[in-house]
Structure 1
Amino acid sequence: MDKSELGKHHKYIASVQNERSKLWSSLLEKKHRDRQRRFLVEGIHLITEAAKNGAAVETVVYDEERGVPEELAKVRDRLNGKTEWISASRAVMKKCTGTESPPPIFAVVVKPNWSGETLYRSDGLVVVLDNVRDPGNVGTIIRSADAVGADAVILGKGCADLYNPKTVRSTMGSLFHLPVMEGDLLQLMPEARARGLRLVGTSLQASHNCYQYDWKQGIWLVMGNEADGVSETVEAMLDDRLIIPMKGKAESLNVAMATTVLLYEALRQRTFN
């Protein structure tokens, strides 16, 4: 990519007091992300994935000293016609990403609107999270759901904010590959059951292990808080409870690892059995 040509007509923002800079940095806070319905995406890989998968990339901001990364040449045709490009000082980059060592580039992306019908496919596989608070766990689960071809991920009450920069980074781009929605599980789960889907969770007291279960039917896999599991109200709505057998001495698995184990058993049965 010819950096001089690409950046020829771009605006430049030097001051952290600039109104655009203040607007971008406000997106580090959930209340402003919710109000503006926008979020930040940091780094070359995530911006590339956003562009490749049709996300509404409103603005791309790059470090004036480093210029536009060469790697974005592959997706510039998907961005240039509808995206504003702005160069900024290192101080602005630092303020807007909240990191001591800011990435060379970030983007402002409009939150997507997913169709709820994606959730209710008769033979679908949907991951449902209840009060999973760690952004890394939420992001990893989204990646695993993406990897096995799940239909969607639902984040219920108490979960880490989907558009928290830490969550976005930990998805490694999977956020843009499948529907990820935030919703009220007390409303959504009864609707899923009414449409014939099974609500499945884990329990150390369960009598059925995950390898004996039929994962080929339409399933909502419901996973809970890192320490306490699913809430009592959500647990009461489950149709089936499973245990992941463990041969060693570990007491339990991290919620992201446990979800991945279950999702891959579903993939094995649905695709390779």
Structure 2
Amino acid sequence: MNENFDSLLSSVQNDRVKQWASLLDKKYRDRSGQFLIEGVHLVLEALRGTAKVTTIVYDAERGIPGELKLERETNDTDATLGLEWVQASRSVMSKCTGTDTPPPVFAILSKLSVHKEALYRKNGLVVVLDGVRDPGNAGTIIRSADAVGADAVILGKGCVDLYNPKTVRSTMGSLFHLPIIEADLKELLPEAKEKGMKLIGTSLQAEHTCYGYDWTQSTWLLMGSESEGLSPEVRALVDESVIIPMVGQAESLNVAMAATVLLYESLRQRAYNK
């Protein structure tokens, strides 16, 4: 198809442009059930995953990015069937992404739908975030969970919004690769214990290191906020705490680094301990 047939939006006062730009605000994301992703890599990852992409908007001056031209020409796969392509002026691209130097492309998606079955798989591994407020930390933990083949990630109340543009960017597309659930941990954690999941936290007072825990069993790894760790309500539900040993002078690891160390010890035991 010829990209010249795509409609052109040039005014930042256009109603659709205002609607897309409003997705930078959590209130409007929640109200519409949609969110925005930006950049070629994220758009490609969304199209290759199970996300429902409704509209792709590209910079009219630069044209469709080369990496996306095949999707534009076919437009008949499950991911691209019925997908709307729109050209936009540089000012529209900037307004909708909240950046002075806008990306060449952004897309509008429906929020991800997730089924809870992934949480309770036999010998499964689930990462639970309790009050992790930094988008970079949350995104990095989601990437690490994806990298080690975890079954799901749960964001408890008080965590950064999954669909915050900074969180989305920092996942580097991993949010399209595994189930990510936003939930009330006070309800979900007791349910997990009833189903036989072991709830594992970290503590400087722990008697066992992370290398002494058996990560091959059904495990939910609980990681707390950057400044305060796990909340008292969540800590009370923990079955066992582990400590990451440190032999140098560093006072601590940040939550994303700590989660990654623990997840890779889990991977080592599960896949490389034969």
State the TM-score, normalized to the length of structure 2: 0.96
Equivalent-residue separation in structure 2 for 1:22 and 1:162 (angstroms): 22
Matched residue, 1:34: 30
1:187 & 1:74 partners in 2: Cα distance?
Answer: 45
Between the aligned partners of 2:198 and 2:243, the Cα distance in structure 1 is: 16
Letter of the aligned partner of 1:29 in structure 2? D
- Give, as a single letter, the amino acid of the residue that structure 1 aligns with 2:58: Y
Partner residue, 1:44:
40
Q: Is the 8 A contact 1:93 1:102 kept in 2?
A: yes
Deviation of 1:73 (Å): 2.9
1:12-70 Cα distance to aligned partner (Å, 9 max, x none): 11100000000000000001001111100100000000001121110000011000001
1:13 pairs with 2:9: yes
Give the residue type in structure 2 aligned to 1:26.
Answer: S
| 2:219 is equivalent to residue 222 of structure 1 | no
Q: Partner residue of 1:179?
A: 179
Same amino acid, percent of matched pairs? 62
The equivalences for 1:46-61 within 5 A come to 46-61=42-57
Question: Is residue 114–residue 179 contact of structure 2 (8 Å, CA) maintained in 1?
Answer: yes
Q: Note if contact 2:47-2:80 (Cα within 8 Å) is conserved in structure 1.
A: no
Aligned partners of 1:263 and 1:106: how far apart in 2?
32
Superposed CA offset, 1:215-247 (max 9, x none): 000000000000110100000000000000001
Cα–Cα, structure 1 residues 155 and 80, in superposed 2: closer, same or farther, change >3 Å?
closer
- How far does residue 6 in structure 1 lie from its aligned partner after superposition? 3.3
Matched residue of 1:8: which SS?
helix
Residue 113 of structure 1: how far off its partner (Å): 1.0
1:267 aligned to 2:260? no
Match of 1:266, SS state, is: helix
C-alpha offsets along residues 93-149 of structure 1, whole Å, 9 cap, x if unaligned? 000000110000000011111101110112100000000000000000000000000
Separation (CA, whole Å) in 2 of partners of 1:216 and 1:123:
6
- SS of the counterpart of 1:220? strand
Mapped to 1, the partners of 2:70 and 2:261 lie a distance apart of 35
Hey, what does 1:71 align to over in structure 2? 67
Alpha-carbon RMSD: 0.9
How many angstroms apart in 2 are the aligned matches of 1:8 and 1:108? 21
Equivalent pairs counted in the alignment come to 269
| Mean Cα deviation higher: 49-58 or 132-141 | 49-58
Amino acid at match of 1:190: P
Q: Is there any run of 5+ residues in structure 1 with no aligned partner, and where?
A: none
Contact between 1:52 and 1:75, CA under 8 Å: does it hold in 2? no
Query: Which residue does 1:211 correspond to in 2?
Result: 211
Aligned to 1:196: 196
Match of 1:155 in 2: 155
Distance 1:141 1:74, change over 3 A: farther
Question: 1:8, CA displacement in angstroms?
Answer: 2.7
CA contact (8 A) 2:133 2:160 kept: yes
Runs (4+) off by over 4 Å: none
Give the Cα–Cα distance (whole angstroms) in 2 for the partners of residues 34 and 213 of structure 1.
39
Once the two structures are TM-superposed, the CA of residue 80 in structure 1 deviates from its matched residue by 4.1
The 2-side partners of 1:50 and 1:214 are apart by 35
Gap change, CA 1:189 and 1:68, over 3 Å in 2: same
Q: TM-score, normalised by structure 1?
A: 0.97
